Amino acid sequence: MLTTQIAETRYDDTEMEKAVIFRELVPEIPSTTYATFGLYKYPAKFIPQVIAYALRTYSQPGMSVFDPFAGYGTVGTVARLYGNNYELWDLNPLLKYFHSVSVMRPVKLDSVGLVRDMRTYEKHFEPDWSNLAYWYPENFLPMLHKAWGFYHSLEDGELKSILLIPLIKATRYFSYNDEKRQKLSRSPIARKRTDRLECHDWQDIFFGQILTGISQVLASLEEYQALEPNETVKATVRAGINGLSSELSQNHDILITSPPYLQAQEYIRASKMDLFWLGYSETEIKELSKKEFPYQQVPIIPIHSPTYYNCLTDIKEPHMAQLFEQYFCGVLGTLSHVQANISKYLLLFVGSATIRTKPIPLDHIFMEHFEALGWKHEVTLVDTIVARTMFFYDKNPATQSRDRRMSTESLVVLSKT
């Protein structure tokens, strides 16, 4: 359990906004990619220090925390370090896979033997993916079918969990997908990479990457263990569910989440290559995409924020206004529904966003809405992002100027009155 005490960081009640650098407030976690936090670059992942700071400041061991948009599952991984029970939800089925490996106990494993067995495995796994050939050089496909055949032949358990992230990463590296973009997209740079691979002993490179990946996973599990996670906390993980139509099975003390972003995010599209290889069908993935906020068609609900209506009036393009409404009705609809089961704090980590260069103060809209529902705004902590993989459009489609959609992120702290 993390117990290091540092200088008191609570703020004067009259100061409603405060600039902070979360990384510096939590020296117990030495970097944003420490332990299992950096095993996979999930888009717009929480840095662990934000949650560590929040739990250290607002929770006690034994309290329970809930994240309805859990993504990679960072809230659960940190909650164990502070002795908090937790419940995680996400539309993306990957949550279940990533979280289970992130909190595993270290294991001893003959990784060379495992990779040798994988390399000689003969049975194919065929993903239900009509566009498969568009994404990979033909030469690589038989190797990928067999490697995933081996993965699917394993029984659910530690071995399979440890193998997954290295296999996902190598499978992406051997595709035409541009690694630098969060969304799945082909590019000349990716094409050059696969052309280069084809000139070498690419089978050696592929299985070498998996072997290295396994060592990285094992080392990260040791690091996580050194942070002394509590093994007895109660955890509930529900992946592949739509937050808007889901019910909490129990009450929680604290809700902490970073909701989907208003624009330029497509988590399911970014994950679909991994989901196909994991065995999700084309129909299942399409259905998931339709439920993602802000693309899900949702009923209009009252948003208790004058700032929201001011922004909406200013948006002239009907399709942008519709996206804006769908976003808030989906995200605030989900949060408004579950807040009734939260007894102490709502901690909402939101970015700043723009629509056609007009700033949308998400933190303010969220704050106004929850104040109207009876929550008290304690403080907003504004973090300056130093190094973060965020989604940016290179060019704003309307203005053709370079568009900085996110520069700061804020933790809005609301307490139950």
Q: Give whichever of 69 and 370 is closer to ligand SAM, judged by the CB atom.
A: 69
Comparing CA positions, the residue from 348, 337, 333, 327 lying closest to residue 255 is: 348
Q: Give whichever of 92 and 380 is closer to ligand SAM, judged by the CB atom.
A: 92
Mention every residue, 6+ apart, whose C-beta is less than 8 A from residue 345.
58, 253, 254, 255, 256, 413, 414, 415, 416
Q: Give whichever of 70 and 335 is closer to ligand SAM, judged by the CB atom.
A: 70
Residue whose pair of structure tokens reads 């009155």 in the numeric block: 417
CB of 374 to ligand SAM, least distance (A): 24
CB of 20 to ligand SAM, least distance (A): 18
Q: Give whichever of 85 and 258 is closer to ligand SAM, judged by the CB atom.
A: 258
Helix (H) or strand (E) holding 252: strand 252-257
Helix (H) or strand (E) holding 74: helix 74-79
Q: Give whichever of 187 and 289 is closer to ligand SAM, judged by the CB atom.
A: 289
Q: Give dist(CA 76, CA 69) in Å, integer.
A: 12
DSSP code string of 4-53: ---S-----TT--EEEE-HHHH-TTS-STTTGGGGSS--TTPPPHHHHHH
CB of 246 to ligand SAM, least distance (A): 8
Q: Give whichever of 170 and 362 is closer to ligand SAM, judged by the CB atom.
A: 362
Tokens standing for residue 172: 């992406």
- Provide the angle, in degrees to the nearest 10, between the axes of the packed helices 318-338 and 306-314: 160
Q: Give whichever of 242 and 410 is closer to ligand SAM, judged by the CB atom.
A: 242
CB of 392 to ligand SAM, least distance (A): 15
Backbone φ and ψ for 305, nearest 5 degrees, come out as -145, 115
CB of 218 to ligand SAM, least distance (A): 22
> What is the phi-psi region of residue 241: left when phi exceeds 0, alpha when psi lies from -120 to 50, beta otherwise?
beta
CB of 322 to ligand SAM, least distance (A): 17
CB-based contact 238:250 (threshold 8 Å): no
CB-based contact 163:114 (threshold 8 Å): yes
Hey, what amino acid is at 417?
Answer: T
According to DSSP, residue 91 is labeled S
- Provide the angle, in degrees to the nearest 10, between the axes of the packed helices 202-226 and 188-198: 110
Q: Give whichever of 56 and 99 is closer to ligand SAM, judged by the CB atom.
A: 99
CB of 293 to ligand SAM, least distance (A): 4
CB of 335 to ligand SAM, least distance (A): 11
Tokens standing for residue 159: 């071995």
Point out which residues bind ligand SAM (CB under 6 A): 42, 44-46, 69-72, 74, 89-92, 242-244, 258, 260, 267, 291-293, 296
Residue whose pair of structure tokens reads 């206004």 in the numeric block: 321
CB of 363 to ligand SAM, least distance (A): 14
Q: Give whichever of 68 and 125 is closer to ligand SAM, judged by the CB atom.
A: 68
Cis amide bond preceding 294, omega within 30: yes
